[in-house]
Amino acid sequence: MAAKVAMAGTALAAALISVGGVSGSAGAATATPAPGVTSNSITVGTISTQTGPISSNFSSLIYGEEGYFKYINAQGGINGRQINLKYTLDDGGNPSQFTQLANTLINQDHVFAVTGVATAFFSPNIFVESKTPTYGYNVTNNWAGPPNLFAAGGSVQYLPAGAPGDAYVARSAKATKIALVAYGVASSAAACQAGAAGLKSAGFKVVYTNYGVAYPGTTVASDVQRMQQAGANMVISCMDVQGNVTMARAIKQYNLNAAQLWLNGNDQSTLDQNQSLMQNIYFYVAHVPFSAPQSEYPGLKTYLTAMNKYEPKYALDEVAMQGWESASLFAAGVKAAGSNLTQANVIAQTNKLTAFNAGGLTAPVNWATAGHAGHAPPYCGAYIQVKGDKYVPALNTSKKSVFVCFGSINPKKGPVLPLPAGTPNAS
């Protein structure tokens, strides 16, 4: 159900925050009147969907947060303060429960920040009204705008930015007739609708669409039959991994010879269980792929080393990486705030970061200009493809980087070089 998030970078590489460089002394730790802050700790909380029918899409975010905070606390914390992730709350996939828990975190628990939100029901009202630094997983449009809301990879879902990538994959796969399927919920359907519009404008034939598949995709076999009748030779899915696997099984059953692009499903345990179904499938990811060489990507090495130590079950989980990114962004703002540790200053300092890349894990986000607006190119991400029992980097045009960047939303145009400053291995 996740949609692509537009990411923009600038040439100001000096603003990069490294994963290993958050601990330090931008200012001596002193007592402040800020909520949740003592002379040696900062208390934070998180809300995510841990239980219920859609929990598999959100539940692992907290483990990425925990992994990052354990990693940074082992180095001495941030400016001498340990990060205390004291409250990890479960909304059960219930919007009213989410609202109640948000009030609890802010008005009862008095956390300094909410460092991870992962739910389909994010309501920003209380976070914006209280001016609480808030971070999380962007699966709705509710993150855009307010300066205190920081979704990993950028707070805006600018869906037209996905069009050139969809067309690039289709050209690479020599596909001409495209089918697109999505769940009948806004975040899923909108992504595929934007993709279809872009593909049509690039000259591809969109021969089948269904933007109302019932969750969790148990009826998608009938869609595959219609794709086959329409002559589709590429399928783009905006469903979650459960729906995608069901679709892949039907594609194999009905012998549909079509390339596939999934926006969700980069999960090693899923591949281990479904290798025969997933061969050669393409995936879009907004981070350095887990299979990229760690010798070339020290940020990935740091992430995997820490997660394998502290939260090994979730080391190769994309939603957990969203939690790590969110925690890393919070840490960058706290470090920059130094001894003036107030919520307002952390927000202000974070919004001065011009090329944040979570320590070399993601394409850069310019929080000073585009992080809350998100309509400025270049638009960068990475593509991977299943080969055997692995996801391997694919389709990148730079010999040094796994990332692919586009200079506009024009789907007729291909990737651009050089990559923007701050993109891992851009130089």
Domains of the chain: 1-13+158-285+375-427 (3.40.50.2300), 17-153+295-350 (3.40.50.2300)
State the pLDDT at residue 31. Answer: 40
Cβ atoms of 232 and 173 closer than 8 Å: no
State the pLDDT at residue 56. Answer: 87
State the pLDDT at residue 8. Answer: 28
Report d(CA 125, CA 27) in Å as an integer: 32
Can you tell me whether residue 90 is helix, strand or coil? strand
H/E stretch holding 304: helix 298-310
Phi, then psi, of 260 in degrees rounded to 5: -130, 140
Residue type at 152 in one-letter notation:
A
Distance between alpha carbon 292 and the CA centroid of its chain, in Å?
17
Cβ atoms of 1 and 282 closer than 8 Å: no
Which residue's entry shows tokens 């692995």? 390
- Name the packing angle between helices 61-74 and 318-337 (round to 10°): 40
Maximum alpha-carbon separation in the chain: 69
State the pLDDT at residue 33. Answer: 64
State the pLDDT at residue 377. Answer: 86
Q: What are the CA-CA distances from residue 113 to residues 91, 200, 244, 270 (Å)? A: 18, 43, 35, 33
- Name the packing angle between helices 186-201 and 163-172 (round to 10°): 60
State the pLDDT at residue 14. Answer: 23
Nearest to residue 48, comparing CAs of 14, 8, 17, 88? 88
- Report pLDDT digits (tens) over 103-159: 999 999 999 999 999 999 999 999 999 999 999 999 888 999 999 999 999 999 899
Given a cut of 50, the residues of the chain with pLDDT beneath it are 1-32
Cβ atoms of 345 and 6 closer than 8 Å: no
Two tokens, residue 419: 């990559």
Q: How does strand 205-213 pair with strand 177-183?
A: parallel
Cβ atoms of 19 and 299 closer than 8 Å: yes
Report d(CA 282, CA 174) in Å as an integer: 13
DSSP state of 362: B
Residue type at 264 in one-letter notation:
N
If one counts every other C-beta atom within 10 angstroms of the C-beta of residue 290, the result is 21
Q: What are the CA-CA distances from residue 269 to residues 239, 266, 389, 391, 394 (Å)? A: 18, 9, 10, 12, 20
State the pLDDT at residue 141. Answer: 85
